[in-house]
Amino acid sequence: MKCRLCDSTAIAALPRHNSGFCRTHFIEFFQKQVRKAIRKYAMFSRKDRLLVCVSGGKDSLTLWHVLNESGYDTTGLYIDLGIGGYSRASLEKAESFAEGIKRELIVVDFAREYADIKRLAALSKRTDCSTCGVVKRYFFNRVALEQGFDVVATGHNLDDEAARLLGNILRWQIDLVRKQSPLLDSDEGLVKKVKPLFRLTEQEIAIYAFLNRIDYLREECPMSRGTTGLIYKDILNRIELESPGTKHFFYFQFLERRDDLFSDGAVERKDRPSLCRRCGMPCSEQVCAFCRLTDYLKRSGQTPDEPA
């Protein structure tokens, strides 16, 4: 296969675009998709200070790489959740990447200051993944607020977003469906959140990471095995094999038509945004999910240290 833009041999096939690219044009294509995402949603400009949430995996390190290459003012944020060897290995990847691009990496040692995720999940009777989600969302926002960042950027890709949409649709959670977006605007106590990789698939990100020698942790989080999110991704990949472009169409058409697709009557639960009585962070109840989680720790006799 030839590159669709020059005479070189294609090194990356893009079935959903029915084409392939050489190294140079693949990287151009990739950067163009990121630029398109940033522009379309007015995510940020070169004047903004970006907090890039990194896990040590391919999506988040690729995000940091492409934003840094594009000249944005970036700082990394890593949250150590205490998932044994996986957390140690992923912190190492994040640290050595930060060193390589000479940018600061902020590290929140959640496991040491509070508890490891598995313990907290067991105490609170939440699933591991939902506990992890509460903790990460809380610190993404709090660190950004306290340290004056303008935007929080995460490495969510097209596969993540399409899988999430499918899961919410299968349960007809229209309130969640209508909120799903590559951009969550700032609000009282809430820093703007963006997903600049939402136009790119996992596979495309893996190719970009490979071509740019990004040294990321290949191991998946051991707690995510068999979770519904991964199953929905697998399922969409199977449909994609049969009908290339379905995943892209499903999510992009949703974004285009979201405001016209669903009726207002379909939203059951209206969020009343407010601030947590305890910590002052935004939440939809009187006490935020993070404070309720750490209450379990206090009740179990392990009082957390002074919060990070």
| Nearest distance in Å: CB 171, its own copies | 7
CA distance 13 to 129: 33
| Nearest distance in Å: CB 284, its own copies | 23
| Nearest distance in Å: CB 165, its own copies | 10
Contact present, 10 and 3 (Cβ < 8 Å) = yes
| Nearest distance in Å: CB 239, its own copies | 7
**Nearer to its own copies among residue 5 and residue 169 (C-beta):** 169
**Nearer to its own copies among residue 7 and residue 259 (C-beta):** 259
The residue ranges of DSSP E strands in 38-119, in sequence order, are 49-53, 73-79, 105-108
**Nearer to its own copies among residue 102 and residue 263 (C-beta):** 263
Sign, CA torsion 188/190/192/194: negative
Sign, CA torsion 38/39/44/47: positive
Binding site for its own copies (CB under 8 A): 169-172, 174, 226, 228, 231-232, 235, 238-239, 242-243, 246, 249-250, 253-254, 257, 260-266
**Nearer to its own copies among residue 219 and residue 256 (C-beta):** 256
C-beta pairs of 40-47 under 8 Å, 24+ apart in sequence: 41/181, 41/182, 41/183, 41/194, 42/183, 43/151, 43/153, 43/182, 43/183, 43/192, 43/194, 43/196, 44/72, 44/150, 44/151, 44/153, 44/192, 44/194, 46/71, 46/72, 46/73, 47/73
Can you give the C-alpha Rg of the chain in angstroms? 20
**Nearer to its own copies among residue 112 and residue 171 (C-beta):** 171
**Bridge partner residues of 121 (DSSP):** none
| Nearest distance in Å: CB 258, its own copies | 10
Helices (H), 125-245: 128-146, 158-170, 174-179, 202-211, 228-242
**Nearer to its own copies among residue 100 and residue 229 (C-beta):** 229
Structure tokens at 45: 């400009």
Q: Of the candidates 294, 298, 19, 288, which has an alpha carbon nearest to the alpha carbon of residue 141?
A: 288
| Nearest distance in Å: CB 170, its own copies | 5
| Nearest distance in Å: CB 158, its own copies | 14
| Nearest distance in Å: CB 246, its own copies | 6
**Nearer to its own copies among residue 210 and residue 249 (C-beta):** 249
**Nearer to its own copies among residue 242 and residue 306 (C-beta):** 242
- Write out the H or E segment, with its range, that includes residue 21: strand 19-21
